[in-house]
Amino acid sequence: MLDRSVIGSTSESKVIEIEKGAIRTFANAIGDPNPLYTDEEFAKKHGFASLVAPPTFPTTFRVPNPNLQIKAARVLHGEQEYSYVRPIVAGESLRCTSKVVDVYERAGKLGAMTFLVTEIRGEDLDGNLVFTGRSTIIL
């Protein structure tokens, strides 16, 4: 089991630049044809400065927590959820931090499973909250 002392540990903040190409690639990868994600003129006609990122786009953000030493080969995705104050738009930069909010163990068919719950917070460079995300992985 992962040591519960990691609960509350927070990553360094990381600035992530939101790029049009990354948004288009992600939208194509998830098979979402919404023109807000791929057609900049369409997005601008609907009041946005540029392309809008799909709601699950922050899944691509990597904000490592140095207190966690996890082998990716032994990880299963449990669940993911996001909450938005406003959409993420291409051309902006977001300052993101990740925090461990819980570690717990459950019995499974093959033995004990450790669950790690983290939250990511994304703010614009003025410090305004844009989104929060919560992720559960199974070790």
CATH of 4-138, one of 3.10.129.10, 3.30.365.10, 3.40.50.1820, 3.30.450.20: 3.10.129.10
Which tens digits make up the pLDDT trace of 63-74? 988 878 777 777
Considering the chain, what is the average pLDDT of its residues?
93
Percent of the chain with pLDDT over 70: 98
pLDDT at 136: 95
Query: Exposed (0-12), middle (13-18) or buried (19+): which is 14, by Cβ within 10 Å?
Result: middle
Q: Residue 135 above 80 pLDDT?
A: yes
